[in-house]
Amino acid sequence: MSSRLQVDWTRCDAHGLCARLLPDQVTLDPWGFPVLDGAPLPDARVRDARRAAQACPALALRLSRT
């Protein structure tokens, strides 16, 4: 089973918090919207990714498991 971050673009307000909490997984585009590589998260980063998803002020960041 692998975990990936996903953004609900209908909710994301470009707060940028996710990039601050997960700088190795998320970068921001010139408008402040997150850029994800879509790759499965390393196991060691899943806990921090879950925290980032919970911290998203717009509830736009989600951790999916496939």
CB of 49 to ligand SF4, least distance (A): 12
- Tell me the DSSP string of 38-51: -PPPPGGGHHHHHH
| Residue nearer to ligand SF4 on the CB measure, 13 or 37 | 13
Binding site for ligand SF4 (CB under 6 A): 7, 12-18, 34, 56-58, 60-61
Q: Which residue is it, tokens 């089973």?
A: 1
CB of 65 to ligand SF4, least distance (A): 18
Q: Which residue is it, tokens 């609900």?
A: 8
Tokens of 25: 């997984």
Quick one: DSSP state of residue 25? T
CB of 66 to ligand SF4, least distance (A): 19
